[in-house]
Amino acid sequence: GTLDPMATGVLVILVGRGATRLADALMRGRKRYLAQIDLAHTSICDDTEREPQAVAVASPPTRADIEAVLPRFVGTIMQRPPDHSAILIDGRRAYKIARKGRDPALPERPVIVHSIDLLDYAWPRLTLGIACGKGTYIRSLARDLGAALGTGGMLAALRRTQVGPFTIGQARCLGAVPDPLTQADLGEVPDSPGSASLDQDEQAGPAEAGPAEGGS
């Protein structure tokens, strides 16, 4: 999987042919995030990678207002990916098209959001705990939540805390990963429905990534 440039958290590293064959299964697994959303600003990329634009809000929503809206974004929902995303359009990344001032015209697509919990709120920022499936853009969720509340909406911070069976508590910081890796540095993929077991040469492990340098 990948992380947006501003995001931190779990990034699973697979080593060996058998392990890499499990990549699709892990990508389909449930992911968990802690997301901080700014309701007083928007941006063209729906996060802080571009200059935020202030939005005038006459009456900030209450906690009850937010909790009343969140169920709209749980279940199988239609979501439009951010224009500044790595989705391919006729062989070109959407963000490269958007950076030239053109509309990549990304269509909505179905994604699965298992749960959203409002963990903290002090205008204009709120923190959500989100469990979701493959292809869900938390930036889009921030944008669409703001639209539903009649406010701004952009992602201010994002941390991925789980990918499939791997959690942030198991992760190592990328700078602490030994080079070269040895067998002792790797672990087996925990048992999960639909996954195959790995032999000695087919291993995986979670790393903890900081803000990335590349686009996504």
pLDDT at 89 over 80: no
Under CATH, which number does the domain 33-160 receive?
3.30.2350.10
* CB neighbour list of residue 144: distance below 8 Å, 6 or more residues apart: 73, 79, 153
Instruction: Kindly tell me the sign of the dihedral angle through the C-alpha atoms of 155, 170, 189, 177.
Output: positive
> 150: buried, middle or exposed (CB in 10 Å: 19+, 13-18, 0-12)?
middle
Is residue 4 flagged as an active site residue? yes
Percent of the chain with pLDDT over 70: 73
Query: Given the structure tokens 């067998």, which residue do they identify?
Result: 183
DSSP annotation of 197: P
Q: Which helix (H) or strand (E) holds 73?
A: none
Average pLDDT over the chain, rounded to whole? 82
Higher pLDDT, 215 or 160: 160
CB 152 within 8 A of CB 55: yes
pLDDT digits (tens, 9 = 90+) for 159-187: 999 999 989 998 888 777 777 766 666 66
pLDDT of residue 26: 80
Query: Position 53: which residue type?
Result: Q
When pLDDT is cut at 50, 70 and 90, the band that residue 189 belongs to is low
Instruction: Quote the pLDDT of residue 196.
Output: 38
| Given 4, 46, 83, 144, the catalytic residue | 4
Query: Hey, where are the domains in the chain?
Result: 1-29+164-216, 33-160
Query: With 50 as the cut, is the pLDDT of residue 9 above it?
Result: yes
pTM of this structure: 0.81
Flag the least confident range among 77-91, 105-119, 135-149, 193-207: 193-207
pLDDT value of position 27: 80
Nearest Cα to Cα of residue 166 among 31, 33, 16: 31
What residue type is assigned to position 180 of the chain?
Answer: P
The larger pLDDT score, comparing residue 133 to residue 189, is at 133
Cβ atoms of 143 and 53 closer than 8 Å: no
Has residue 19 got a pLDDT over 70? yes
Lowest-pLDDT range, 7-21, 56-70, 148-162?
A: 7-21
The helix or strand, by DSSP H or E, that contains position 6, with its residue range, turns out to be: none
